[in-house]
Amino acid sequence: MVAVAHMCAAIALSAEIHGNIPGPNGMTDVIILTIDGKAYYQVEHHGVPFVSTSRLGMRTNNGDFSQLEFVGMETSEVSGSYRLNRSKTSEVDYEATKAVCTFRNPEGKTIQVEFRVGRHDVAFRYILPREGAGSVRIFEELTEFSFNDSPEHDFVKTYLTPQSDAMIGWMRTKPSYEEYYGVGKPVTAPSEYGHGYTFPCLFQLGGDGWVLVSETGVDGRFCGSRLGEYYETSGNSEGCVGATYRVEYPMPEENNGNGTSEPAIALPGATPWRIITLGETLKPIVETTVAWDVVEPLYETANDYKFGKGTWSWIVWQDGSIRMEDQKKYVDLASAMGFNYTLVDNWWDRTIGHDAIPELVDYARERNVELFLWYSSSGWWNDIEQSPVHIMSNPILRKKEMKWLRDNGIKGIKVDFFGGDKQETMALYEAILSDADDHGLMVIFHGCTLPRGWEKMYPNYVGSEAVRASENLVFSQYECDQEAQAACLHPFIRNTVGCMEFGGCFLNERLEKSNTRGTIRRTTDVFQLATCVLFQNPIQNFAITPNNLDDAPAVCLDFLREVPTTWDETRYIDGIPGEFVVLARRNGDRWYVAAANATDTPVEFKVKDVLDALGLGKADVRLIDGGNDPSSSDVGAGKKLKVCRNDGAVLIIG
């Protein structure tokens, strides 16, 4: 399709415009307006509406803020720098225009909307003052994200993953952000379950550009939100329609129907931030730090957490491997690879036992390896039997267990099977993190929600699954057939707003212990290596198996030994979501550039193209390519790369 730019720029005639919030350099503006006594915002980039006229407001048990009168707006410049030690970027310089817009409802009650407008990012949240009542329950938020679409709905394309029904899937553990993505669908394409979409949500606006919508700063004092089903509003002018999505709170059925789907806050108080990243290309979306720009660390830690790489037997060897003998083999594998960690997955309390864990810890430490242990979060919100159960959900047992973990030299926990975004569940995530830090433990979440600024908020937080992750490649051939497409989506969507504990990099041809049965890997060895750069998590638990030490190409093992898991810089080079991706990440002086292709059209580029994109002149460049017969070679700037379907390439520069 030839991308056409949209001419739908006008604002409705009945609108009263109250203010314009220009970001630094005036690239992005937020316009504040009211129409028929309702409040709206619009986001423009170089004068083009990227988010068209979209509603603001909420209904609460302490005032209905659906009808609003504009009172005033105060703007100021905010800037600063901060460090992220476990993400895609390490040093962030942040600059934005802050505007606090005050509105009043017909009863005379006040609500404020605080905006932060950057060059390519907009963040906003509601602030409720204390005017009488000391707390408030929010029935619903009226926040919309609307896009100017053509009446034929062939202008806006969506890249969305649906919210699932509650209490379905394995042992009734959903929703857990493990659904498929629709790729390049029109807004009218129905969502799979009828409950809208989980964050982040990517939209392509014809030839105008791209918009990523998500949220951040969700802690234990609010629920996680999502976008509801698409509906149509009147467009900004004749010849277009408004393709509109509204923020929705958790479904009542989540957590087996227990807990609230209407978050409550103490007053004065604020909601989490709704965040928008936009650009003419995908570059600002891949490189954005807005999820961390507007949040602060919630506690200081006395501990020195070490990120890195690990092995985990469960992914290929499954439940039967959770026994002392096999765990020692995976410790040996971690040791041989120079990895820091081995993750002991579910059932360890039954099959190894608490009493034998010190033996495994000693065995690991003699080999410079430390352990993570698995727990179920539940609880009464699913049917999980995989043990240990009912510990992480109980503050008394949790603290006792964490003391035992610390006393026995365990470095971290993986907590699985949450299932829901209610305020109670977000409080549980925070309680686990906070208690774990008291005991020097890092925390990985699985079967869980999207992290929302947590890499900066919680010093011992080291990963969330919240994606259709590597386990599905083991369970289903369809998943293996679709692996490349999914891998070419995550760098643009899921992984750009938060770390992603995918648990990948398979070097077996068959994803089963014997390597002779089970699902067949369709992607090449080099593709698997590329995902180690494309997917980011501060601790990467890779899916390699002990036999790979003998049967995998040495170039693959060498690469896994050296590849970092945290980055100083991340740069978009090229790509189309679901089709192909070329991404660069820097650690220290060294760039790792990964390419992957999910289409029949080869991706071709020269080393020089990458050097130019990174602003590098002459540099030492190593190329890993060759598909399933991989090799590493020094190459010059003139070297041409050709990446075919299900294949990848990695450049190591410097």
Which residues make up the interface to Ca ion (CB under 5 A)?
447
**Contact 544/311 with Cβ under 8 angstroms?**
yes
Cβ of residue 381: shortest distance to Ca ion, in angstroms?
Answer: 15
Cα–Cα distance for residue pair 547/277, rounded to 1 Å: 44
Q: Which is nearer to Ca ion, 175 or 447 (CB)?
A: 447
For residues 101-110, one letter each, b for 16 or more C-beta atoms within 10 angstroms of the residue's C-beta and e for the rest, the string is bbbbbeeebb
CB of residue 474 to Ca ion, shortest distance in Å: 11
Q: Least distance to Ca ion from the beta carbon of 416, Å?
A: 7
Nearer Cβ to Ca ion (263/447): 447
Q: How far from the centroid of its chain's Cα atoms is residue 45's Cα?
A: 24
Which one, 149 or 501, has the nearer CB to Ca ion?
501
Helix (H) or strand (E) holding 269: strand 269-270
Nearer to Ca ion, 126 or 317 (CB): 317
Minimal distance, residue 199 CB to Ca ion, in Å = 18
Written in H, E and C, the secondary structure of 125-136 is EEEECCCCCCEE
Q: Within a 13 Å sphere around the CA of 188, how many CA atoms are in the beta-carbon half?
A: 10
Q: Please state the closest distance from residue 528 (CB atom) to Ca ion, in A.
A: 19
**Closer to Ca ion at the Cβ: 314 or 458?**
314
Measured from the CB atom, the residue of 217 and 447 that comes closer to Ca ion is: 447
Please say whether the beta carbons of 149 and 211 come within 8 A: no
Closer residue to Ca ion in complex, CB, 284/447? 447
Q: Which is nearer to Ca ion, 209 or 447 (CB)?
A: 447
Nearer to Ca ion, 269 or 447 (CB): 447
For residues 590, 463, 525, 344, the Cα torsion angle rounded to the nearest 10 degrees is 120
Q: Which is nearer to Ca ion, 272 or 503 (CB)?
A: 503
CB of 382 to Ca ion, least distance (A): 12
55 vs 75: CA distance, rounded Å: 21
Element housing 207 (H / E): none
CA pair distance 436, 458, nearest whole angstrom? 11
Q: Which long-range contacts (CB under 8 A, 24 or more apart) does 74-81 make?
A: 74/99, 74/100, 75/21, 75/99, 75/100, 78/116
Beta bridge partners of 495: none
Nearer to Ca ion, 222 or 374 (CB): 374
d(CA 33, CA 36): 10
By beta-carbon distance, which residue lies closest to Ca ion? 447
Output the smallest distance, CB 468 to Ca ion, in A.
8
Question: Which amino acid type is present at position 54?
Answer: S
Q: CA end-to-end span of the chain, whole Å?
A: 39
Q: How far is the CB of 448 from Ca ion (least distance, A)?
A: 8
Which contiguous run of DSSP H or E holds residue 435?
helix 423-438
* Angstrom distance (rounded) from CA 277 to CA 244: 17
* Angstrom distance (rounded) from CA 637 to CA 275: 39
Minimal distance in Å, beta carbon 370 to Ca ion?
A: 23
Task: Kindly list the distances between the CA atom of residue 244 and the CA atoms of 36, 187, 264, 542, in Å, as whole numbers in the listed order.
Answer: 18, 9, 26, 40
The span from the CA of 30 to the CA of 27, in Å, is 10
Q: What is the dihedral of CA 371, 375, 377, 378, to 10 degrees?
A: -170
Nearer residue to Ca ion within complex by CB, 126 or 193? 193
Strand pairing class (308-312; 341-344): parallel
Decide whether 447 or 578 has the Cβ nearer to Ca ion.
Answer: 447
Question: What is the full DSSP assignment across 544-592?
Answer: --TTHHHHS-HHHHHHHHH--SS-SEEEEEEEETTTEEEEEEEETTEEE
The least CB distance from residue 556 to Ca ion, in Å, is 25
CB of 255 to Ca ion, least distance (A): 17
User: Rounded to whole angstroms, how far apart are CA atoms 567 and 588?
Assistant: 8
Residue closer to Ca ion, measured from CB, 473 or 624: 473
**CA distance linking residue 478 with residue 490, whole number of Å:** 18
Give least dist CB 377 to Ca ion, A.
Answer: 12
- Min CB(347)–Ca ion separation in Å: 16
Residues in the chain: 654
Q: Which is nearer to Ca ion, 310 or 447 (CB)?
A: 447
The CB-of-63 to Ca ion minimum distance in angstroms stands at 40
CB 150 to Ca ion: min, Å: 38
Sole residue written with tokens 């985990």: 312
Q: How far is the CB of 181 from Ca ion (least distance, A)?
A: 16
377-400 burial string, b = 16+ CB within 10 Å, else e? Answer: bbbebbebebbbbbbbbeeeebbe
Structure-token pair, residue 320: 């039967």
Give the Cα separation of 649 and 627 in Å (integer): 8
Residue with smaller CB distance to Ca ion, 60 or 495 = 495
